[in-house]
Chain A
Amino acid sequence: MATAQKAAAPLRRAAGPATGPRPGRRRASLVPVLLVLPYTVLLLAFGLGPAVYALWLSFTDATGGFAGVDNYARVVQDFRFPGAARHVALFVGLWLVLLVVLVVVLALLVHAVSRRWVGTALRFAYYVPGALAGASSVLLWLFLLNPVASPAAPLLRLLGYESFNDTIQPTNLPVVFALIAFWTGAGGWILVMFGALNNIPDDVMEAARIDGAGPVRIAWSIQLPLIRKWVTYMVILSLAAGTQLFVEPTLLSQASNAVVPNDYSLNQLAYQYAFSLADFNGSAAISVLLLVVSLGLSSVFVARGGLFDTDAS
């Protein structure tokens, strides 16, 4: 909730300071508590609760006895684990780079558009793919990736892909998943960056222009440093989402008649452990490993990106 409120902040066109509760009024202090309460309850029930339960499961065996690190040892030694970890790492790396570079560039371009209606139309166009539900947008891609049905068929054939099975060669998958994820997720982030750019005071930009900075110089020296926090925020949330890659490979596995394996990503492997091998402890161990890695990487970004610095301005 705290982050969500923060995220809402840049969307206000440099409005005045938010009207907070007046000091000294005790009843007003209940309002934020009431507002945060439903979220906290849900977070405990569906976020922290299951996470703690998974942690407990991962250190016990099927009968509930303490198992030490047996479950972890077992899943890490599984022949599918290194492959799945590599797939996810490749995908996340590709996707984050793609996301950071393109979202920032596109947001800067849209922000630089002087005609109001053009900017509005562009922002709307960016957002449309994100409005499709996750699974259905992946289904759409199943057609896009099939040279027989795809509107982009000439391009696919140019790359030497004659059939759906050609397009989804294992080496192509990280790129394919990164493209799908970018297409479905980038639009919303472009809007966030746009809002962040609007938050930069006009007088700062004005001063830079008077000093003779061109648009590129302004972007590099003024705008980028000032939206760094939002880029970090995007990276962290995307990292958390990306490590949980599940929907895309699962659907593609179904559509390709198992040519894309149903244990392509770590999350799928966890699913297989639970529901194919009935090994919920091993499944929990994979989930906990994912959580640890995500938290570790996220904290690096939090520390480097200054996300929780209070506005000292």
Chain B
Amino acid sequence: MFISPHPARRRRVLVLATAAVVGATALAACGSGEDVAAPGAGASGAAGSAGSGGITVWVDASRAPAAEAFLAANPDADVEVVSYDGSANGSDTFKTRMNLYDQAGEGWPDVVFSTQNNDASWASQATPGNEPFAAVLDDGLVDPEVLEGFTEGSLDPCTVEGQVYCLRNDLAQVVLWYDQQLMDDLGYEVPTTWEEYVELSGRVAAENPGVITGSVGDAWTPEVFMWGSRCPANQVTGPRSISVDATAAECVRAAEVIDAGVADGSLTTLSVFAPEFVQEYSEKVLMMPGPAWFAGAIFNNPDSLALPEGRLGVAAPLPWEGEEAVTGNVGGGTWFVSSHSENPELAADFVEFVTTDDAYQVEQAPGYPAYAPAAEKWLAQQEESGYYATDLSALTEAGSVIWDGWGAPAFSQEAVWADTMTPLVTAGGSVVDNLDTWGEAIRNEAQVNGYTVE
């Protein structure tokens, strides 16, 4: 038999796509081929629920310790842990997989962690012929007292038409991280407004080229700069309606910050998770507006910047002159319980444990816990660790000033930014001049997802 080099292999992908339509048997066979789309969630992911008495849990790599903590506390629990990409960076893995299982009529995991916080917008809605994926959690499945313990507003993205569909893992309020020692060495002062931030960035670029004051190479750039500037590009006004004004003055001023920083090199266009970022900017990050989880994921991470002890400072979100400070939020994961679960009690116990129990949220969590009692202990413990150069009151402050004008629609704002604006920023194009392009992309994406654009 003659071996056709490559066509057959490509065709297998189409078979995979069509097989999805044909049914579950074909899918199970192709499951391993799908590792591509979600590393690790292949064959085992396609295997679905762990049968009666057990649950299948999908987590991303960063949340693996949460599952381990649960197993350590409940050694008899039958929990199968599947690792997947956490639906990060607009990959939409969670949503696409659940649609696949909806179509097959089986195979749903019992618990899913998502790094996105907008999944409730679709998981709470029924698809043709299927009930919604997410189980309602405030109908007795989760203890009402536990629900009340979450930081005010943190369950908003999980709440659709008055019902809670997920538990928030962490808050991701944006603060200003800075390197206290580098500030002192170079003789700079921490800025207190965006205007000062821009001015300082300009000075840093001129006096110390190679030192950076922020990053704009990631998909969450709009959530840091635009959201924190009250840019009305993503105002969700109803379950399926959105208002988009990407060229408002609030968006323009934020875009000017990005443009100025990219032009003079004070803002890097590399992703903070790119290996070259670590190579180039180790101990050269003067400051960086970014979410709470930057502390554990980037600064205090031996595999990333690995900033030594006693240097990392945190300042409250920057206001624009004459305004109250508001801030953005980058993700902050969510835990879902499947409505199809054969073991909803165990699944609910699991999500309760990982969002509230000290064993994970205080001892191990890299981000700021959404559960208020855990957040207090977490902050105290972080301060005790001696890692930070300042106290962490800025985090608490930021947690209470997340601007509520930036919604959580069913599509990923990060993906829209990544494919519309990131190439432009990388190539040194002007964000200010292309805000209408961005707005148009958001409107298009919203319409395709069934939103009425106002």
Contacts and interface: CB of A to CB of B under 8 A. Distances in A.
Interface string A37-78: 000000000110111011001000011000000000000001
A284 interface: yes
Interface centre among A53, A276, A287 (most CB of B within 10 A): A276
A91 interface: no
Given A187-B5, A260-B419, A163 B274 contact: yes
A305 interface: no
- Size category, B interface: 35 or more
B36 A251 contact: yes
A262 B21 contact: no
A194 interface: no
Label chain B's interface by main secondary structure: helix
Contacts of A155: none
Given A260-B419, A284-B21, A50 B15 contact: yes
Interface in B91-143: 91-92, 95-97, 99-100, 102-103, 127-128
Contacts of B100: 275
Given A54-B21, A247-B10, A287-B18, A262 B90 contact: yes
A277 B17 contact: no
Chain A interface residue count: which class? Answer: 35 or more
A226 interface: no
Interface in B67-109: 85, 88-92, 95-97, 99-100, 102-103
Contacts of A54: 18, 21
Contact of B275 (A135, A148, A258): A148
B413 to A, nearest CB: 11
Interface stretch (B55-63, B160-168, B383-391, B421-429): B421-429
Nearest to B440: A79
A259 B19 contact: no
Contacts of A241: 6-7, 10-11
Contacts of A79: 444, 447-448
Nearest to A54: B18
Nearest to B273: A257
Given A185-B6, A247-B36, A271 B17 contact: yes
A94 interface: no
Name A's interface SS. Answer: helix
A184 B6 CA distance: 7
Interface in B1-54: 1-7, 9-11, 13-15, 17-22, 26, 35-37
19 contacts: A8-B2, A11-B2, A50-B22, A53-B22, A78-B448, A135-B35, A148-B279, A165-B426, A188-B3, A188-B4, A241-B7, A241-B11, A244-B11, A246-B10, A259-B423, A261-B415, A262-B91, A267-B13, A271-B17
Interface of A: 4, 7-8, 11, 46-47, 49-51, 53-54, 57, 62-63, 78-80, 130, 133-135, 147-149, 163-166, 169-170, 181, 184-189, 192, 237-238, 240-242, 244-247, 250-251, 253-254, 256-262, 267, 270-272, 274-278, 280, 283-284, 287
Interface of B: 1-7, 9-11, 13-15, 17-22, 26, 35-37, 85, 88-92, 95-97, 99-100, 102-103, 127-128, 217-219, 269-271, 273-276, 279, 412, 414-415, 418-419, 422-423, 426-427, 444, 447-450
